Amino acid sequence: MQSFRKFLTAVMVMSSFTSIAVAQPVGSEYPSLAGRTVLITGSTDGLGRETALRLGALGAHVLVHGRNAERGAEVVEEINSGAGSAQFYAADLGSLADVRELAAAVREDHEQLHLLINNAGIGSGFADGARQTSADGYEMIFQVNYLSHYLLTDLLLPLLETSAPAQVINVASGAQRSVNFDDIMMERSFDSNAAYSQSKLAQILHTFHLATRYDAAELTFNTLHPATMMDTTLVRQMSSPARTTVDEGATALVNLAASPALIGRTGLYFNGLREARASSQAYDAAARQRLDTLSRELTGLPPETPL
């Protein structure tokens, strides 16, 4: 642990003097993650599963999350048979009470959390594209993809802060649509593609908002579009042909999580391995603040402490 901290410090000093490539060259070695604890939501399947296996192989202790305990146990077993270690946490992100229980369990079980990857998601093919509501009465795609991760992140921030340097990565998408504050739960007009794209841009607004509030040497917040139409359950539910592989998406996500070139860099949006620009609303500070205030109300959190 101590040596990893020294390594991070050395790289941060180096990167402040030299211009280094953002992306780790594909196929190159990443530093060991031994002693690092990582929570990956939605790691029983698809991109999250593959990322959990890869970070586990680098020596991390991986907190595998999802609803399906059987698939969760398989991921845990595979990680435990290699360099890393793992345990499973079940929680339905369609319930804010479940999110609170998940955060409480993680805080109870662990003195440190170095990396939170908010990855769990449902796509436009969920429920055959019909509007569903969560246990809390909110539009389901908005809650699972964005609002529950908002709450989870907030509840785990104190633990991440005490584990500094630490990171939060939000797995967003290239599918982005401005948050419609007049009908955020799409009660008047529902379209599952619009709901998905709104939830994904909301994640990016949240990432950029948090990046302005924390010292990047302590806590970084970054987000990415992993790859387009990977062959996963989410894409298969859309009845659209897959165009890329989980392998490609996991390479981008692991790069953001483990590349020494990104240490101390915050508020970034990546398209795969390349730094990119998100949709314009993400750069509107007033919209970010408005979404933050609303999210706190919707999740029952107290107002944000002014900076």
List the catalytic residues.
196
Whether the Cβ atoms of residue 192 and residue 186 lie closer than 8 Å to each other: no
272 binds ligand NAP (CB under 6 A): no
Given 11, 37, 39, 48, the residue binding ligand NAP (CB under 6 A): 48
Pick 11 or 102: Cβ nearer ligand NAP: 102
CA dist., res. 14 & res. 24, Å (int): 15
Q: Which is nearer to ligand NAP, 122 or 184 (CB)?
A: 122
Residue nearest to ligand NAP (CB): 46
State the Cα torsion 291-91-85-4 to the nearest 10°: 20
Q: Which residues 6+ apart lie within 8 Å of 248 measured at CB? A: 226, 227, 230, 272
**Phi/psi of residue 42, each to 5°?**
65, 50
Residue 230 interacts with ligand NAP (CB under 6 A): yes or no: yes
The binding track of 145-184 with respect to ligand NAP, each residue x by CB under 6 A or -, is --------------------------x-x-----------
**Which region among 3-11, 14-22, 24-32, 86-94 touches ligand NAP (by CB under 6 A)?**
86-94
Question: In this chain, which stretch among 7-15, 92-100, 153-161, 264-272 interacts with ligand NAP, using CB under 6 A?
Answer: 92-100
Return the residue of 120, 151, 204, 291 that touches ligand NAP, per CB under 6 A. 120
Output the furthest CA–CA distance in the chain (Å, rounded). Answer: 55
Task: From 134, 152, 156, select the one nearest 143 (Cα to Cα).
Answer: 134
- 226 part of the interface to ligand NAP, by CB under 6 A: yes
Q: Which is nearer to ligand NAP, 33 or 93 (CB)?
A: 93
- 252: tokens are 């981008």
CB 156, CB 107: distance < 8 Å: yes
Percentages helix, strand, coil for the chain (3-state, rounded to 5) are 45, 15, 40
**Under 8 Å between Cβ of 64 and 39:** no
Question: In terms of CB distance, is 11 or 151 closer to ligand NAP?
Answer: 151
Give the count of residues interacting with ligand NAP (CB under 6 A): 30
Positions that interact with ligand NAP (CB under 6 A) = 42-48, 66-68, 71, 92-94, 119-122, 144, 171, 173, 225-226, 228-230, 232-235
